[in-house]
Amino acid sequence: MNYWPLVGVAWVVVGFVLRANPVIVVVSAGLVSGLLAGKSMGELLALLGESFVSNRALLMFAMTLPTIGLLERAGLREHALRWIERWRGLTLTRLLAGYLAARQGLSMIGLIDIAGHAQTVRPLLAPMAESAASKPNGPTSREDTQKVYALAAATDNVGRFFGEDVFLAFGAVLLIQGFYAEHGIHLEPLQIALWAIPTAIAAFVIHAIRIVFFQRGLDRRSAAARAAQPTAGSDAVD
């Protein structure tokens, strides 16, 4: 066995440790491994071109990351915070429950990538949830803020995971169909999708209850913190 192509792995590790350009590191590592495997430069360039064409959808998705970074630099998070502050009746529970319903609904019709952690949760939903949580109780502590961020990310996960199985053409539905077929049970994709609907509804109800309890716990901690402040002030005066 020829172990020389594994030099490309070490090349990637060294490049990332030196904080070199990731694109240059990965492409050059592929060229190094290919050359050490006995391929010609023409074959490697043809392989790179074929990979680029076959994965162009993935490359388009990856372009959302720098786009979101530019929007954040232009003040996207600050605009989201100010926008939520104008909605006086919008609580953390209503915001996340509404997002959960929208995320599940879109996933059920196959639009699973229209939202997500990179393009929606971090730049929009997380700061909006932070603003909604701080409206009735004032600014939240750092620990509670991190919990709000985690709950926003969990809401996105639950909405997508339990909504996408309702879509007939999703890969997981076909995987479930194939698994049952191997064990002699024939199921149509429509049957699997229909049985996923009660699970999606149960997931929505359970996670919505979690959001309600989180909001109540947050309110109790904020009330206790406000009640402790006058006591601390009076002790200092005494």
What is the spatial distance between Cα 99 and Cα 152, in angstroms, rounded to a whole number? 9
Residue with tokens 């009330």: 223
Q: Tell me what pLDDT residue 53 has.
A: 61
Pick 103 or 69 by higher pLDDT. Answer: 103
Give yes or no for a contact between 16 and 25, defined as CB atoms under 8 angstroms apart: yes
The three-class DSSP label of residue 227 is: helix
Q: What pLDDT score does 118 carry? A: 76
Looking at residue 19, its pLDDT comes to 83
Q: Is 26 exposed, middle or buried (0-12, 13-18, 19+ CB in 10 A)?
A: middle
Q: Report CA Rg, the chain.
A: 25
Which amino acid type is present at position 164? E
CA angle, 32 then 36 then 38, to 5° = 125
Task: Please tell me the predicted confidence (pLDDT) of residue 97.
Answer: 93
**Helix (H), strand (E) counts: the chain:** 11, 0
Percent of the chain with pLDDT over 90: 20
Handedness of CA 165, 169, 170, 174 (dihedral sign): positive
* Residue whose C-alpha is closest to residue 218's, from 129, 100, 155, 98: 129
Q: What is the average pLDDT score of the chain? A: 81
Helix (H) or strand (E) holding 127: helix 126-134
Domains of the chain, by residue range, sit at 4-54, 63-237
Question: Per-residue confidence at 230, pLDDT binned at 50, 70, 90?
Answer: low
pLDDT classification of 198: cutoffs 50, 70, 90? very high
Give the pLDDT score at 142: 85
Task: In whole angstroms, give the CA distance from residue 142 to residue 227.
Answer: 19
**Signed CA dihedral, 84, 87, 88, 92: sign only:** negative
Name the pLDDT band for 131 (thresholds 50, 70, 90): confident
Mean pLDDT of 126-139: 81
The predicted pLDDT at position 63 comes to: 61
Q: How confident is the model at residue 232 (pLDDT cuts 50, 70, 90)?
A: very low
For residue range 138-164, list pLDDT tens digits in order: 777 888 889 999 999 999 999 998 988
How much is the pLDDT for 59? Answer: 57
Q: Per-residue pLDDT tens for 41-62? A: 888 878 777 766 666 555 555 5
Residue located via tokens 């630099």: 73
